[in-house]
Structure 1
């Protein structure tokens, strides 16, 4: 018996194979040719349906057709064809045929039956009076059924080339996604799975529904390649649980857009995307307080420095939703500024906001430029996001890193005081806490500068916001890991023990916007970000969620390897958010206020003057020494990696006896 079944399966597969190429050629024919063929087939179906109707009425072949009967048939064919064309019966693409096309077929066949009745009456045909009624049913079966068969044949012929997928969620979004995939050409929905036990055993659009606990077995049984999460309104906690469940399966996990994007119309169900970055955190996103966000923005003039960067651009997206009077975008990059302005103008037109958007080019180190902008536009609130943030890049460009991060903040804060700005918020980083690199030390120095301004001036409220790594920002590990996985690996991690705090770009931006409202002057705000994430675990999780297996000693047959490249210059294994334990709460339950040591104004003046001279002389060793005095917690674990400094050392410009112990040679990447 088993042999017979296998033989039958091979025979069916062979038949499908023989017809698959002709089917493709038929579907590639010009559309008007296919419409003409379909019309010809319908014209054959009309006399066949009439003959079948008479056959059913007489119960046999006893009726003999006369000339007037044939004339009635001809009239029905001609006028039915004319109506079919006018009704748009051939405009519908059969493989996409839906409910509206079926309604059109029913209307067309109904009119054809009425035309047959009129033809019988006008020609004096002897066809039975019940013929039009029976004809209506037979014609509907022939004309409509033929189209349904064609659609079924198309999808069965081309489903073999599709990737098999499971839709997780049999609700409205899941059904919409199933319809979109059915008419698409890439994925085939094999089954639905859902947490609702009442849906198990039902069928949606011809696709069976199973319980979510059966997913591992279904993955093996149907050779599933993809799982699509169609649960846009699920809580973050539930989504995290589902992703944990899917992580061990050999499938690529994608998700439909966020519920808010679907409701606003900015995204469609079928626009599948990779797992959201927030889902990788393993914690719920921290909800903002709208009142705090609005307080320093609504109906005010707001300025964002570094507006084209990852954090700056997200700040702009959220600020425009709070409807300020005017939004000033300040950036040194013409290209990034152009991009964010275009995006904001589209959002402004869509939401019908009246916000004035003003893009301005300039460097934050140019104090006169900043003063004129803040004064002429009567800026109320400044969000200072212009900074160099990539640790290795600043290590290779020490002078520019210090100049931008410290003197840029000094210029922006001074301009804010001169222009009478109400609120000034500095975007800082967890790398400013006990820094081991120039970037972290420069950001801590920027914090000290701002705290000195806060203690001296009451006219402008200064504060700073400190957070960890931002998922999805430029240079973030997640986009890099995804690219490496898509390229077949390996995924590069600097150290197997390295851990980081993570948050999403919207969370970071919302924290910044709320901080300005909670500030009492000189505050350092930090976010309760939960437990830190081990980077290698994040890499492993991403590999599995993209449908691959980690290749290592325990699994030599895996797909993607993880290579440990070693810590980069200035990089720490662990990051911290606080310098001490003196922390108080705020109006937001997840935002804390840190009370940290200040530098007297005279010391700030002294160190900044010394840094300016050292930067002018490109003396990286002196820069490092000054930063260690200004930031006592700064403990550089590596020597100087600045590209110009190391080249001077190699060329003998710097005396070896003075600097050889403080120079790292060969760490600057060679150009390819």
Structure 2
């Protein structure tokens, strides 16, 4: 058991030590491999057979063309730059745009080279590429999360507030090696039972039970827009639980307490020019 644990930990450390460029190259290679696979799948679906030999012979040139042009599309739209921890609507839309672009390129190539491929093949090709690319990244995210959970002893925490601040906090904590967000708690009944940012949302009335079930050690209140009195009331309501309560401060609080502005300093003109200060008094 300990040997397996050490192997998983060593593998995770090697992944984290990879440069961003290496990770981009891995995703580029994976997306490139998906191009011929998706194209073959499009022909197979269109002709209703796993081996559409005749159709592939007449459209064989489409495969190397799409490999080359597909790489240009993938690099141009920066698909390899999508981080697994940042798989959200914008990233999925970018993959969708790349899939549509690949389908259009396949249509143009079929027209220019007078290929016998039906018009539905490029459409199916784009759809299969989209599903495959999204699934590949989501699967990679879950595998990485699973391995991280098994190898790192991270402290389980709950986030009170499933708004924008809570979501951003959850996404940030997922990359932490110290704490692990387990679920959201929110007073909005419309959010009850939903999955937000990959975490379940529970009603505040079930917090005590969830704290025990998930072995929560810390509750993070991520509601920076509420009033101070409301935050004080939340802390009071949580005081009977065997957890540490922490509050995410608002932007105004950080400014008033000088916890934000003191970290900034004025940039001198010499730093902007990229040279040392010139003393004009020296002859």
The interval holding the TM-score normalised by the smaller chain is: 0.7 to 0.9
Of residues 167, 192, 205, the one that matches 1:175 is 167
In the superposition, relative to structure 1, how do residues 112 and 263 fare at CA in structure 2: closer, same or farther (>3 Å)? farther
Of residues 99, 105, 120, the one that matches 1:109 is 99
SS of aligned partner of 2:79: coil
Q: TM-score, normalised by structure 1?
A: 0.35
State yes or no: 1:93 paired with 2:83.
Answer: yes
Deviation at 1:122, TM superposition (A): 2.5
Number of aligned residues: 262
In the superposition, relative to structure 1, how do residues 23 and 122 fare at CA in structure 2: closer, same or farther (>3 Å)? farther
Q: Does the 8 A contact of 2:158 with 2:218 survive in 1?
A: yes
Deviation at 1:144, TM superposition (A): 2.2
Larger Rg: 1
Q: Does the 8 A contact of 2:28 with 2:79 survive in 1?
A: no
Q: Which residue number corresponds to residue 220 of structure 2?
A: 228
Q: How does 1:134-149 map to 2 (within 5 A)?
A: 134-149=124-139
SS of aligned partner of 1:152: helix
Deviation at 1:241, TM superposition (A): 3.3
Q: Which residue number corresponds to residue 110 of structure 2?
A: 120
In the superposition, relative to structure 1, how do residues 233 and 112 fare at CA in structure 2: closer, same or farther (>3 Å)? closer
State yes or no: 1:216 paired with 2:216.
Answer: no
Deviation at 1:15, TM superposition (A): 8.1
Q: Which residue number corresponds to residue 244 of structure 1?
A: 236
- Uncovered stretches (5+) of structure 2, i.e. residues with no partner: 267-283
Q: How does 1:405-424 map to 2 (within 5 A)?
A: none
Q: Which residue number corresponds to residue 159 of structure 1?
A: 149
Of residues 28, 32, 49, the one that matches 1:39 is 28
Q: Does the 8 A contact of 1:168 with 1:193 survive in 2?
A: yes
Q: How does 1:598-637 map to 2 (within 5 A)?
A: none
Deviation at 1:149, TM superposition (A): 1.4
Q: How does 1:628-667 map to 2 (within 5 A)?
A: none
SS of aligned partner of 2:245: strand
Q: TM-score, normalised by structure 2?
A: 0.78
Aligned-residue Cα RMSD (Å) equals 3.3
In the superposition, relative to structure 1, how do residues 183 and 78 fare at CA in structure 2: closer, same or farther (>3 Å)? same
Q: How does 1:10-21 map to 2 (within 5 A)?
A: 19=8, 21=10
Of residues 174, 186, 204, the one that matches 2:178 is 186
- Uncovered stretches (5+) of structure 1, i.e. residues with no partner: 1-9, 269-341, 348-672
In the superposition, relative to structure 1, how do residues 218 and 14 fare at CA in structure 2: closer, same or farther (>3 Å)? farther
Distance (Å, rounded) in 1 between the aligned partners of 2:88 and 2:175 = 10
In the superposition, relative to structure 1, how do residues 93 and 169 fare at CA in structure 2: closer, same or farther (>3 Å)? closer
SS of aligned partner of 2:132: helix
Deviation at 1:78, TM superposition (A): 0.3
State yes or no: 1:30 paired with 2:22.
Answer: no
Query: Could you say which structure has the greater relative contact order, defined with CA pairs below 8 angstroms and 6 or more residues apart?
Result: 2
SS of aligned partner of 2:104: helix
Distance (Å, rounded) in 2 between the aligned partners of 1:216 and 1:231 = 19
Regions of 4+ moved over 4 Å? 13-20, 65-68, 342-347
Distance (Å, rounded) in 2 between the aligned partners of 1:32 and 1:19 = 23
Deviation at 1:131, TM superposition (A): 0.3
